[in-house]
């Protein structure tokens, strides 16, 4: 089998790499080519383009429209040149929806692992996915019922974040190597991995750290972004930086301040009490308020179907508001213990085995045209 795999950002790269490894365990002779990152390359994918060139969000994507169009055209040419047996698309909805349409038009089977969050906004795009995708593998339990409304049967395979956490091996020397002092509560700062996220979140997090000299704040930083973006957090006596070691950080954290995204779920599965904070540009936020169809922005609350963690969004995302929430998270009491109890229920909901292994077996089954496939 020859697969063409496309992931357009850091988390997709990780989840795609685990799926590639699972497929190779089933069929070691399989070959993989595509767009992605270092994790996919290490898993055995012949990388055509790195996601560093593709990771645009919000209005960044609008501003870089022509650049993205060139990458899209290059991707289509490469797919035709290498004639894969199937496409495997991983997240990255704006780009991959167009590739799905291209695959359909060229009679290439399209498997979509972690499809776009059309349940959150632009729900009509579900019709496009129905028309172009051979089979979808979803990672949130409520997505099965959502897509069923559009006449689609999709497979819930579990959540790949659990795969990554199960495979994680803590570094026993992390605290010493990262120079995190003892005697203070450790607050993880997860400001995101995109330029615009850091521009909005870092100054706010710096204000919070300045107001809590009794706590040690540790920033989960990424190396593929300029250090200047972390500027207002640098040089503070109670702020430490770690790189590409978020799971080690969460192993030691007493609480966390998290920008919305996959990190909210990762933080919950490491049993770290958290507050979710998000700020967007005023126009972007105004548009989002009109089109977003969900009550929460964090995966924790969306999966639970209720508020488990506090979400401070836009005008509510203030240093004072975060400070008040952080004080409750660090205090031993009902608020903290109830959040941890809800995390336990969340883990039970998601724990249906390895998402990548389940998806690999289903791809094999559908490829072999097996009709009866048992759901995990």
Q: Are 135 and 367 spatial neighbours (Cβ–Cβ below 8 Å)?
A: no
Render pLDDT for 50-74 as a digit per residue (tens, 0 to 9).
Answer: 987 665 444 444 445 567 788 899 9
The pLDDT value recorded for residue 238 is: 96
Looking at residues 41-47, what average pLDDT do you find?
97
Tell me the pLDDT tens digit for each residue of 109-118: 999 999 998 8
- Cα separations in angstroms, 195 against 84, 94, 229: 34, 18, 7
Residue 296, pLDDT > 90, answer: no
Single pTM value for the model: 0.80
Structure tokens at 62: 């609008």
pLDDT at 371 exceeding the cut of 80: no
| pLDDT per residue as tens digits for the range 143-194 | 999 999 999 999 999 999 888 898 899 999 999 999 999 999 999 999 988 8
SS3 254: coil
Give the pLDDT confidence score for residue 64 in this predicted structure.
Answer: 53
Q: Record the tokens describing residue 234, joined without a space.
A: 């640098």
260 Cβ contact list (under 8 Å, min separation 6):
276, 277, 278, 297, 298, 311
Average pLDDT of the chain to the nearest whole number: 89
At 84-103, the pLDDT tens digits run 999 999 999 889 999 999 99
Residue ranges covered by each domain of the chain: 2-158+352-367, 171-350
pLDDT of 289 above 50: yes
Selection from 29, 46, 35 nearest residue 5 by Cα:
35
- The domain made up of 171-350 has a fold known as Rossmann fold (3.40.50)
Name the percent of the chain lying above pLDDT 90: 74
Which architecture characterizes domain 2-158+352-367 according to CATH?
A: 3-Layer(aba) Sandwich (3.40)
Task: Encode 307-323: b = buried (16+ Cβ within 10 Å), e = exposed.
Answer: ebbbbbbeeebbbebbe
Does position 302 have pLDDT exceeding 60, yes or no?
Answer: yes
Per-residue pLDDT tens digits for 354-364: 999 999 999 99
């Amino acid at each position: 089998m020859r697969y063409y795999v496309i992931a357009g950002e850091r988390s997709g790269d990780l989840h795609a790499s685990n799926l590639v490894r699972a497929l190779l365990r089933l069929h070691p002779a399989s070959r993989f080519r595509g767009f992605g990152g270092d994790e996919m390359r290490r898993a055995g994918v012949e990388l055509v383009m790195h996601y560093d060139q593709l990771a645009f969000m919000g209005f960044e994507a609008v501003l870089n429209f022509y650049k993205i169009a060139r990458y899209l055209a290059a991707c289509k040419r490469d797919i035709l040149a290498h004639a894969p047996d199937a496409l495997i698309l991983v997240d990255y909805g704006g780009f991959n929806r167009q590739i799905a349409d291209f695959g359909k038009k060229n009679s290439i089977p399209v498997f979509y692992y972690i499809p776009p969050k059309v349940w959150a906004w632009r729900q009509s795009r579900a019709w496009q996915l129905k028309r172009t995708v051979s089979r979808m593998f979803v990672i949130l339990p409520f997505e099965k019922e959502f897509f069923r409304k559009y006449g689609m049967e999709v497979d819930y395979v579990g959540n790949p974040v659990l795969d990554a956490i199960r495979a994680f091996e803590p570094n026993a020397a992390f605290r010493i190597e990262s120079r995190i002092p003892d005697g203070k509560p450790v607050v993880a700062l997860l400001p995101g991995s995109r330029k615009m996220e850091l521009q909005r979140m870092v100054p706010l997090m710096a204000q919070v750290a300045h107001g809590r000299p009794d706590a040690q704040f540790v920033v989960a930083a990424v190396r593929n972004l300029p250090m200047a973006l972390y500027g207002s957090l640098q040089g503070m006596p109670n702020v430490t930086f770690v790189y590409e070691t978020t799971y080690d950080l969460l192993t030691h954290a007493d609480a966390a301040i998290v920008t919305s995204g996959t990190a909210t779920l990762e933080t919950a599965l490491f049993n770290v009490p958290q507050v979710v904070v998000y700020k967007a540009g005023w126009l972007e936020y105004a548009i989002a308020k009109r089109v977003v169809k969900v009550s929460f922005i964090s995966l924790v609350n969306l999966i639970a179907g209720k508020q488990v963690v506090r979400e401070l969004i836009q005008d509510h995302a203030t240093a004072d508001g975060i400070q008040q929430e952080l004080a409750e998270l660090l205090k031993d009491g009902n608020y903290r213990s109830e959040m941890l109890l809800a995390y336990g229920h969340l883990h039970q909901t998601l724990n249906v085995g390895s998402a990548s292994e389940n998806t690999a077996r289903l791809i094999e089954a559908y490829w072999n045209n097996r009709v009866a496939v048992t759901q995990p």
